[in-house]
Amino acid sequence: MNKIRIAMLQALLRGSAEERREQIRAMVEQAAGQGIDLVTLPEIWNGPYQQELFPSFAEPRFGPSWQLLSELAAEYGIWLSGGSIAEYGDGKVYNTAYVFDRSGREAARHRKMHLFDIRITGGQHFMESATLTAGDRVTVFNTEFCKMGLCICYDARFPELFRLMVDRGAKLILVPAAFNMTTGPAHWELLFRQRAVDNQVFCVATSPARDMEAGYHAWGHSIVTDPWGRVVMQMEEAEEIRFVELDLDLVDQIRAELPLLAHRRTDVYRLEQLGAK
């Protein structure tokens, strides 16, 4: 059987970027001694999740957070989905996720494609586009287990992006995410179960822990859903490291038994990627 053992780090991070890096180092070190293949981190861990502050702690590619993640992956011989960080380049700021392979090589980089601009009556108001620039690439990468896709939080609300990743071979989708106290209770579990069952993939969505002293209150509840739409694991809101083992052969089994991807009417409709590849 084609199994992968994952450690999901629902981290509660505070302080300076340097202090946050040390917290991440300690959590990865704790998880890596458990015989795992892949560690996953949450969205925007190198500073507060506040739109007006993103430029103040953004780092360049190959900066200190990138270096830390690369070193940890190589030191422990693990795959490391490094959550996402505020990244600057070409005079712009992005919400960027990285994945590193067992040698510490950058295997994937995804810039959040859909920016979180919402105004909910009596609920959340957030405008990522005030300081962030959107990415424009569909991100899929190879591992010894299977092809995996990578996107960030609000990206997961767009079924077209998930289907494009699946069309490029993804069987597991990694999603560093930080839903809030308005959208989390309403849509978090529903969304990842739906994306999993529509695309017959595993979804692994890793959130920060909820910090009521922070300016942004994350929902937490890091979750794994399987290709049948079942919840394999879901945390609560507190900081936690949770281990989960997935049998990736289940993807092929379910796609063979209920071949919805093969039943698409491409003579009637078609989804294609435009622009950057």
Catalytic residue flag (residue 112): yes
pLDDT digits (tens, 9 = 90+) for 14-37: 999 999 999 999 999 999 989 999
Check the CA dihedral 266-271-276-277 and report its sign.
Answer: negative
Tokens of 244: 């989960």
Helix (H, G, I), strand (E, B) or coil at 206: strand
Would you state the pLDDT for residue 122?
76
Q: 157-172 pLDDT, tens per residue?
A: 999 999 999 999 999 9
Q: In this structure, what token pair is assigned to residue 158?
A: 């767009």
Per domain, the residue ranges of the chain are 3-257
Report the topology of domain 3-257: Nitrilase/N-carbamoyl-D-aminoacid amidohydrolase (3.60.110)
Q: Which residue has the tokens 């692994």?
A: 204
DSSP 125-183: EEEGGGT-------EEEE-SS-EEEE--GGGGG-HHHHHHHHHTTEEEEEEE---BTTH
Task: Find the catalytic residue in 59, 87, 112, 171.
Answer: 112
Q: Is 43 a catalytic residue?
A: yes
Q: Out of 87, 153, 171, 203, pick the active-site residue.
A: 153
pTM of the model: 0.96
**Res 5: pLDDT:** 98
Nearest to 77 by CA among 137, 31, 46: 31
- Which one of the listed residues 43, 59, 128, 237 is annotated catalytic? 43
Q: Which of 117-121, 194-198, 270-274 has the lowest mean pLDDT?
A: 117-121
pLDDT at 276: 65
* Interacting residues of 216 by C-beta distance below 8 A, sequence separation 6+: 48, 49, 50, 126, 178, 180
Whether the per-residue pLDDT at 127 is higher than 70: the answer is yes
